[in-house]
Amino acid sequence: MDYETPLFFRVMQYASRAEGDVIDMVSGNPDWEPPAALREGLHEYADADPDRFQYPPSDGLLELREEIAARRNVDVSQVVVTNGAGEANYLAMARALERDSGSEVVLTDPVYPYYPGKTTMLGGTQTYVETDETGQLDPDDVRTAASADTAAIVVNSPNNPTGAVYPEETVRELVSIAESNDAILVSDEVYDHYDLSGTFASALSVDSEHRIVTNAFSKSMAITGFRVGYSIFPEELVESARSRHMLVNVAGSRPAQHAVLHALRETGPEYYRANRDRLRDRVDTFTDALERAGAEYTRPDGSFYVMVRFDGFPGTLENVERLIDEAGVAGMPGTAFGSSREEWLRFALVTPRVEESAERLIEYFE
């Protein structure tokens, strides 16, 4: 069996081997500081008794699950702490596909490329629904695409790569479509702390046995390498997801869970606000420059990404490599995200050099 390896790694490798100075706008790795309490939590853990170095509970440190449950207003029994959002989505999609309620997974186009990869690995098939130009999803299109064979509808808001944030009405409709097809809405909300629009709605706001919400601290705490995420399951779906988690990973990594717990407790809203404000400034800087250059682009309502279209320069891997070599800017090819953004490139605003990168792009395309 072969699964498509996400293009991210190929592009990052190419960029790291390039000769000149390259501004990295490929990956979604925050370039800012984690919460100070996260570092404190790691130091504290490093001096702990040896028994704290042994297996945490399989579904995560209880205090961490309690903090998550309290913040998300769910019962602690619904929370499974995972190895990042990656495993959270894997568990959620596996759970949806093993219910004997269909083998089709409805995805958006553009799509975050791990979702179709996971679908194939889990034995499902993909059906795509195109978003509009701004990345918004029309629930009627999803309703038309869904069928009795639909096992899951997987969405991501704030969205990677479009920057769209789905309004509550869309989320409500998506849950209802899942319900009427005996399917599961998997709502990946890993960018929830980077909603620049104020309109973000979690799928948790809709009570249902047909939705699973996934999230992680990777982006909100700037720790993509720690691998601490979670899934929130309806009561009747949690037990076998917990078993799968145990059989695949036994448990998540305890130093990381301990540090996240400490940071969750000790970090105030100003930390998250400052990161959001920084991101907003970068969006302004980058899109203002693109605007002056007359380029076509999307202005994100959330997440880290700006999509850009340059005339006669489609979003292929070859063109991305040309930009790395000739302009010194590394982005992601639109082709990585499905067929609807083949003309586009995606740039991640996780570098302080967004102004410089915009200037390089403008100069290159002048």
| Closer residue to a second copy (CB): 240 or 319 | 240
Residue 182 touches a second copy, criterion: CB under 8 A: no
For a second copy, the closer CB: 24 or 104: 24
- Rounded to a whole number of angstroms, the minimum distance from the CB of residue 257 to a second copy is 9
Residue 267 sits in the site that holds a second copy (CB under 8 A): no
**Spatial separation of the C-alpha atoms in residues 107 and 117, rounded to whole Å:** 11
Asked if 278 touches a second copy (CB under 8 A), the answer is: no
Residue 191 makes contact with a second copy by CB under 8 A = no
Among 22, 25, 60, 84, binds a second copy (CB under 8 A): 84
Strands (E), 20-149: 23-24, 79-82, 104-109, 125-130
Gap between the Cα atoms of 360 and 182, Å rounded: 50
> What are the DSSP E strand ranges found in the chain?
23-24, 79-82, 104-109, 125-130, 150-156, 184-188, 211-216, 229-232, 296-297, 305-309, 329-330, 332-333, 345-348
Quote the least distance from Cβ 168 to a second copy, whole Å.
Answer: 29
Q: Which one, 30 or 135, has the nearer CB to a second copy?
A: 30
Is residue 92 close enough to count as binding a second copy by CB under 8 A?
A: no
Contact residue for a second copy among 18, 46, 70, 274 (CB under 8 A): 46
| Candidate residues 22, 34, 282, 290; the one interacting with a second copy per rule CB under 8 A | 34
Of 88, 86, 66, 87, which is closest to residue 77 (Cα–Cα)? Answer: 66
Phi-psi region of 79 (alpha: psi -120 to 50; beta: other; left: phi over 0): beta
Q: Annotate each residue in 203-232 with x if it binds a second copy (CB under 8 A) or - if it does not, as one string.
A: -------------------xxxxxxx----
Q: In what order do the strands lie in the sheet with 150-156?
A: 79-82, 229-232, 211-216, 184-188, 150-156, 104-109, 125-130
Residues 160, 321: Cα–Cα separation, whole Å: 21
Up-side HSE of residue 359: CA atoms within 13 Å toward CB?
A: 4
Selected range binding a second copy among 52-60, 141-149, 176-184, 340-348, rule: CB under 8 A:
52-60
Site for a second copy in 119-158 (CB under 8 A): 121
Binding site for a second copy (CB under 8 A): 1-6, 9, 27, 29-34, 39, 42-43, 45-47, 50-56, 58, 83-84, 86-87, 90, 98, 114, 117-118, 121, 222-228, 240, 242-244, 246-256, 259
